[in-house]
Amino acid sequence: MSEDRDQQGEDWAEIGRKLFAGEARFIWGASRIDGLPPMGAPEFAFAGRSNVGKSTLLNGLTGRKTLARTSHTPGRTQELNFFDVGPETQVKLRLVDMPGYGYAAVGKDKVAAWTALMKEFLRGRATLARVFILVDGRHGLKEVDGEMMDLLDRSAVSYQIVLTKRDEVKASAREAAVGAVRQALARRPAAHPDVLFVSGQTGEGVADLRAVMARIAAERGA
């Protein structure tokens, strides 16, 4: 479902397009909870398994190939990376690239440190507007995704599922993929009911995701 236009006639897809066509830049990396940047514009965090395509989607959102570092090695993102969207004098929103979860090849101590960092961030960040949980559209929800949703439900943090790699899923299978996720979300108190399906590679569905963020940021006065 798209949130492109509301009852007041606001064209959120166009507002989102203009917003993300403007300035975007990396501002901060934090590996400890006491190293977070000062709170400011509404923040949208992106979580997901290590090979789900977070960096590719962040680059696709902003139309920049190198805003977020992509790697063929899952688990490369080892801290919370913050990106401002909008002019430095009037930042509209902030993107947060979270460490990927569920990658067994990373040492247990490192995974434990990342997990603790994410938990502290999710529970104590007043400017966090929504968490987007990215899920590989080819495979659907996994147990580790459920664990992240459990954490967000307990923390009362609003989250929304974004299926990725839409271009690699047959058109005839997409509706069933979305339906399966919606059914899994039915009894989760903090989950947004709308499920987005995007491709960071081709840009399919990205306009809907931009529209969602633009609308939430505006509602928060950004």
Report which secondary-structure segment, H or E, holds 155: helix 143-155
CATH T-level topology, domain 1-43+52-129+143-165? Rossmann fold (3.40.50)
Q: Are 211 and 16 in contact (CB under 8 A)?
A: yes
Q: Which residues pair with 134 in a beta bridge?
A: 48, 162
**Which has the minimum average pLDDT: 25-34, 125-134, 210-219?**
25-34
Summarised one tens digit per residue, pLDDT across range 176-212 is: 999 999 999 999 999 999 999 999 999 999 999 999 9
What CA–CA distance (Å, rounded) separates 183 from 195?
Answer: 11
Instruction: Give the mean pLDDT of 143-160.
Output: 94
Summarised one tens digit per residue, pLDDT across range 80-122 is: 999 999 999 999 999 999 988 866 556 677 777 777 888 889 8
The per-residue pLDDT for 114 is 77
**Best CA proximity match to 41, nearest among 56, 23, 55, 59:** 23
Sketch the domain layout of the chain as residue ranges. Answer: 1-43+52-129+143-165
Question: How distant, in Å, are the alpha carbons of 114, 189, 216 from that of 107?
Answer: 11, 33, 37
Instruction: Give the mean pLDDT of 64-76.
Output: 63
